[in-house]
Amino acid sequence: MTSHTRLAALAICAAGCFTPLVALSHAALIEAETAQAVRLHAFYDTGEPMSHAQVIIYAPDNPVSAWGQGVTDRDGRLEFVLGPETGRWSFQVRQSGHGAMVHVEVGDDAPVVTATSSAQSWGQRLVMVALVGWGALGTALFALARRKGRDASA
Amino acid sequence: MAQGVYDKYYNSSYDRKALPMIRFCLLATVATFASFTAQAGSLTLFASGEDLATEGFNAPKLTKDGWALEFNRITATFDQITAWQTDPPFMAEGPEISGVALPFDGPFTVDLVDADDADRVALATVDAPAGHFNALSWALVPGDDGFSLVLEGIARKDGQEVSFTLRSTDSVAHACGEYLGDARKGFVTEGGEADLEITLHLDHLFGRADKAEDDEMNLEAIGFEPFAAGGEFELSLEGLHLGHVGEGHCYDFAH
């Protein structure tokens, strides 16, 4: 749990102590948390996207076994949320018997990173990986107290 | 040797009180060497022409100009082979690789048609330090017969059947990145076994009928039509980029 999460949880608990029970019983909590996300874009040097290419992801703490996998969309893009592990994440993109591997170093204070992988001569495969939505915003908690119950008791 | 040292000290005027210490030292030495041995694993290198070599070009995987090919033999000679541990990972964007090098003795001449169930032919196994071998350099070189690559077989199309032999004397060096395939390869662990693969993509030579005509590979591939008369032909490998590591690419250059 991050410090932001702890603070937010503490705030909610404190608020609960001073809120009438009837109101609390109708409260709805929506938890939204930003996380480190990756946007991958795979295409050929002609600009043609690597549509529906297989993407296999390897985490820093286990580079042998796949951490996750997915398929690029028709524009050659795939977005997903990384795990908390820091270090070298590897992304293998394969299509029609050809592939490319790119690596991204992710640290605690990692900036947006772009990596490319290319092949020699004709039909070069280019894969760009960028970290987006880095979790600087921490955790946001929203407490929405419906006033219906309180209004009814009024 | 160890026993000789033991006897020398035991039979000499050396104080027998030192015997336990000598014994301890000998055991420590043996343990040290055993430890080094345990830290090393092995790395086996394979070569493959994939199923296109072992099974040939059959529908729908005909050549780009519609020929079915059956190979009697595909002999290739590989030399100057070195597996590498590179950090940052080598991305096959140039000829130079730097890192921890593990050379293989060569040359190796193999028939890629006479392969195992996984379409691979073993070249050699060497002791290796632990780590990820994520790059491979190798060269296709002329063998004892003067040819680096020989493809011999039968081609069929529309009731026509021709025998062919394609031979190349070209030397092509390759600097390859990480092996790409269904599983990552090259991870040597203590006492473990790992492997790497040199892969020749024959569809870069003949093209593929099951791919689009304007596919980059088909645009560059020779196809079989230039050899349709049958017989023996000299083959240039320039610009074909046959050499891969699985589906991973290599930087290749005339050698």
CB within 8 Å: A100 and B180 = yes
ipTM above 0.85, yes or no: no
Q: Give tens-digit pLDDT for A35-49.
A: 667 788 888 777 788
Strand blocks (E) in A66-110: 68-71, 77-81, 87-95, 98-106
For residue B143, the model assigns a pLDDT of 97
Q: Tell me, rounded to whole angstroms, the distance of Cα B112 from its chain centroid.
A: 11
Q: Do B88 and A103 touch (CB under 8 A)?
A: yes
Average pLDDT over residues B211-220: 88
**What pTM was computed for the model?**
0.77
Q: Does the structure show a pLDDT above 60 at A69?
A: yes
CB atoms within 10 A of CB B6: 14
- Whole-number pLDDT of residue B25: 40
- Whether A135 has a pLDDT exceeding 90, the answer reads no
Inter-residue contact B145 to B96 (CB < 8 Å): no
Distance from CA of A50 to the nearest CA of B (A): 13
Confidence of residue B104 (pLDDT cuts 50, 70, 90): very high
Instruction: Burial-class residue B253 by CB neighbours within 10 Å (0-12, 13-18, 19+).
Output: middle
Q: Which CATH superfamily hosts domain A37-135?
A: Transthyretin/hydroxyisourate hydrolase domain (2.60.40.180)
Q: In what order do the strands lie in the sheet with A114-115?
A: A77-81, A37-44, A125-132, A114-115
**How far apart, in whole angstroms, are the C-alpha atoms of residue B160 and residue B153?**
14
B203 interfacial to chain A (CB closer than 8 Å): yes
* Upstream peptide bond of B88 is cis (omega within 30 degrees of 0): yes
Report pLDDT for A127.
Answer: 67
Among B31, B5, B34, B32, which Cα is nearest to B18's? B5
Pick the range with the lowest mean pLDDT from A84-88, B53-57, B68-72, B218-222: A84-88
Domain ranges of chain A: 3-33+138-153, 37-135
Q: Residue B126 pLDDT > 90, yes or no?
A: yes
In terms of pLDDT, which residue wins out, A7 or A81?
A81
Chain B's closest residue to A127, CA to CA, is: B91
Between A118 and A84, name the one with better pLDDT.
Answer: A84
The beta-carbon neighbor of B248 closest among A44, A101, A123 is A101
Q: Is A8 helix (H, G, I), strand (E, B) or coil?
A: helix
Which residues of chain A have a CB within 8 Å of the CB of B195? none
State residue A119's pLDDT score: 56
Q: Which residues contact A111 (CB under 8 A, 6 or more apart)?
A: A131, A134
Residue B29 is predicted with a pLDDT of 42
d(CA B9, CA B19): 8
